[in-house]
Chains A and B, each alone.
Chain A
């Protein structure tokens, strides 16, 4: 029943999208001087139909309608209601439904709020609806969330237990607000090229969308990292895994765009560069989807891969890249305004230079293994050592420039305040020396990273204090985000250098002494929960120099729907450290593999990352 209803809605939606395309395409050639009234009605019906079809799917998941394949495959009656809801987008079909929903909602909002230029507005609608059409057909033909199953099964297969998690329930919607948010400025850029609606007004119309998508992309990445940290069970939070890289690449493009759009808005120069970034960001977002969903790359996050889907997304991607590239070449603005020449402009361009470098490094690292496989027939892996080695040294000048950049003005003849500069450098160096001598000695590179991030932190804090005194809130968003970035790098650097990790095997009842810790594997308990059985290890960890004992209880869980074994880390968090313990069985014997870690400053890593995103959100409320 719900299946028929949902399918009819999806088909209806494709027709309405075609109608919107038909009406808005008239703006491609002639200069139509009036808005078609019907367009507004069509958009409204498109919005209502998509919302209703999304909620139909949600409803099917809530009542566990097993006649629908996606419900059968990813849900189960016994699941808590929260995970039934989250299960809606915890699979390929449902998450694509969410993707289309956000596309439609954003398209509607953009149409609603941009009424300055008729042609620009309708052309943006046109391109946005090409995207909607592409993804709707994909949804209908290849990834139908409402597909029926005959005969109706008795019970569902259940959601992968590692996806049954609050962080992972909100991770896809957050990330999609970022990914799909970039579709708006992709369409707007195409519309701008064709309609000639350029410069300041164009910049203003996309600026909020850029900041919005960037802030939510950041949030999505953070929540995903937090989930990986406690759920995947090895104490890391960033693995330079292809799927993670897929979310990071658009993030760099968005961050570059968030900076250069300021130049376009203030000085009306750099138009073509902004357009390139607009097009690139959404292309990278779809590329990310392709990499994740096609299964072309080996990743820990590949939960739904299928080569047919890969081919569809790849073809769609090629059409997108080719057509946007052709339109760009054809409409390339020959008489762009002279290059930005203020100091601030130069610094913003420098930001873009670095952002593009990070982007290219991650891109090459991610796709290079595909090349070697095709051309040399050798499989290689590109992991953390590659990215760390290439990116970390470049971070040093980047952090310093990030501190002094905002200090410059649009005036060509502004100078830096050298006294402040020297004072900040010296304090950064001294704090670093203190950390170095008190905590632990670390490498030259780490010293430089710590110094430069401290430089950024102190510099930004001075700025922040200044604005609080003056009561002007204009620079609050920027300083918050920059401060967050400086803190993030500092804490990651310290965490990386001061983490203690031990990997060993132990039997129940045994005690192991490692440097400063005494690890007592006290007991093993079997517990029966509603939807899984659990083997709980009772550990007491004594820190020898303080005699403090912490009890940690890692678990091995055996889920029944679907049958899966997961390893739950036990984490004790305080302001300074996380104590992290996992255990796993070795074969069927009574020896367990134990991984114990003491990771400093974990909580502060999350807080600083949230500050970055908060900066973006503050900017949305703080328009000037």
Chain B
């Protein structure tokens, strides 16, 4: 039984790694990650504004030019500021944003661990 279980896991990882090799840019995913700057809290994918329509054209052009997802984000962030990206870039300024939840998670875990130790 145990062997079967592990084979399954290995199979899964194998299948998923096949997917990873397939380089395909999903334009909808990019649209969802861009803020519509003239709207109230809507993404480009969601908005019906002219701004969103224009930005979709820009992104499609960039994809056709062979830019990667990351390059498109960098281009837009430079043009419009980081405000446009829903996926904040990991850098010095944003390290607190990205790391602190996990720091709290680890601290909480340690606290719990010492609680359990102390009970014995």
Contacts and interface: CB of A to CB of B under 8 A. Distances in A.
A365 B97 contact: yes
A382 B53 contact: no
A346 interface: yes
A441 B11 CA distance: 12
Interface of A: 232-234, 236, 239, 241-242, 298-302, 338-341, 346, 349-350, 353, 356-357, 360-361, 364-365, 368, 372, 376, 378-386, 390, 394, 422, 425-426, 429-430, 432-433, 436, 441-444, 447, 501, 503, 567, 584, 586-587, 593
Contact of B45 (A368, A385, A442, A503): A503
B86 A384 contact: yes
Contacts of B68: none
A346 to B, nearest CB: 6
Given A338-B119, A349-B112, A442-B16, 14 more contacts: A241-B41, A299-B40, A302-B40, A353-B105, A357-B108, A364-B97, A382-B97, A384-B32, A386-B98, A422-B1, A433-B11, A436-B12, A443-B19, A444-B12
Nearest to A388: B87
Contacts of A353: 105, 108-109, 111-112
Contacts of A341: 119
B102 to A, nearest CB: 7
A381 B16 contact: no
Interface string B80-120: 01111111100001101110111011001101100110110
11 contacts: A242-B41, A350-B112, A357-B104, A360-B104, A364-B101, A365-B97, A376-B93, A380-B85, A381-B83, A381-B84, A426-B4
A372 B81 CA distance: 13
Contacts of A241: 41
Given A302-B40, A501-B28, A378 B82 contact: yes
B48 A567 contact: yes
Given A241-B41, A382-B97, A593 B53 contact: yes
A383 to B, nearest CB: 3
Nearest to B56: A503
B104 A299 contact: no
A593 B50 CA distance: 11
Which 9 pairs, one residue from A and one from B, show the smallest C-beta to C-beta distance? A383-B86, A385-B87, A584-B48, A341-B119, A234-B46, A300-B41, A361-B101, A379-B83, A299-B41
Given A385-B87, A394-B105, A433-B8, A380 B94 contact: yes
A429 B8 contact: yes
Contacts of A372: 93-94
Contact of A383 (B5, B40, B87, B104): B87
A340 to B, nearest CB: 8
B88 A236 contact: no
Contacts of A379: 81-83
Contacts of B12: 432-433, 436, 444, 447
A504 to B, nearest CB: 10
A164 B19 CA distance: 45
Nearest to B119: A341
A363 to B, nearest CB: 9
A426 B1 contact: yes
Given A299-B40, A301-B41, A341-B119, A429 B46 contact: no
